Amino acid sequence: MGDWRVSGFTEVMELGRGGQGRVVLARHATAGTPVAIKYVAAADREPLRHEARMLGTVDSPHVARLYRLVESDEGVALVMEAVEGVTLREVLARHGELAPEAALAVLKGSLLGLAAAHAVGVVHRDYKPSNVMVPADGRSKLIDFGVAVAAGAASASGTPAYMAPEQWRGEAVSPATDVYAATCVFFECVTGRRPFAGAGGHLSEEPPAEDVAEPLRPLVAAGLAKDAAGRPVSASAFVGELERVAGEAYGDGWEDRGVRVLAGAAVALASLFPLAAAGLGAGGAVAGGGAVAGGGAAGAAG
């Protein structure tokens, strides 16, 4: 990859580097817009092409956008929207479990982003707290489509703590696969722990719905159903059920209150906001610890 750079952008700071490449914060030379750029060597171009194909079809305010894929003989790069904020993983590490309204707001935003992907036939396949950005406005964005696939593809890939039973069995994935992962994360948000310890739990243990507040139990039970056919048929359908449950349990304004809590949690970690650290204005993609809109530095860089 050498010293190759995408033309038209000025590199501001490096966010991460690994065996396959690196991730940088950059600024458009003319407009000044901050972006995140993921670089990999030319020999490793196919995974980045795949990510671009998956992410490039998704259009949602709850998904960090891909601006373009740039290829040369020296390397390949993804130029992505930049999100001034931190990952949900960092929020949970700092604050522990979230209040129900905040957890519901995270789940709703994630489901809306997943629904946009599902609408174009894409299954994210690796939904987890480190792939959810919480910006300063508290409205979450989904990132990292590096292992996304078309619905119906057989797959054993993903992050074990959030993998649905069908992923463990290497079976076809579907929108219900992402619903399962999102529910695992929701459970973690409200309890401070993951619902299952390993493969055996995901494959055979009953959903621990009794461990959450009574109004939330139907969401956990449905989202963590062992059989994909027993889960909500789509992320959009799950949003409808979530809104009904949240409205009945927490009243009007639950989402605004939850978003405010998330915004406060993110701002409390403002020292991890790379755009601010780099002296750039709000508007772009990166998260503390080197996570960026297109994927964490470790994942992007090896």
Tens digit of each residue's pLDDT (9 = 90 or more) over 145-172 = 766 666 656 666 678 999 999 999 999 8
From the candidates 126, 178, 252, 256, give the one annotated as an active-site residue: 126
Is there a contact between 29 and 21 (Cβ–Cβ < 8 Å)? no
DSSP letter for 71, please. Answer: E
Separation between Cα atoms, residue 71 and residue 169, nearest integer Å: 36
Reduce the DSSP state of residue 275 to 3 states and report it.
Answer: helix
Separation between Cα atoms, residue 280 and residue 265, nearest integer Å: 21
CATH class of 9-84+271-300: alpha beta
pLDDT for res 281: 56
Q: For residue 102, which phi and psi values (nearest 5 degrees)?
A: -70, -40
Tens digit of each residue's pLDDT (9 = 90 or more) over 35-72 = 989 898 888 888 888 888 888 888 899 998 889 999 99
Look up 126 and say whether it is catalytic.
yes
Q: What's the fold here for domain 86-267?
A: Transferase(Phosphotransferase); domain 1 (1.10.510)
Domain boundaries, the chain: 9-84+271-300, 86-267
Q: Average pLDDT, stretch 3-19?
A: 84
Partners of 302 in the β-ladder: none
Q: Report pTM.
A: 0.85
Is there a contact between 35 and 46 (Cβ–Cβ < 8 Å)? no
What token pair was written down for 77? 């790069």
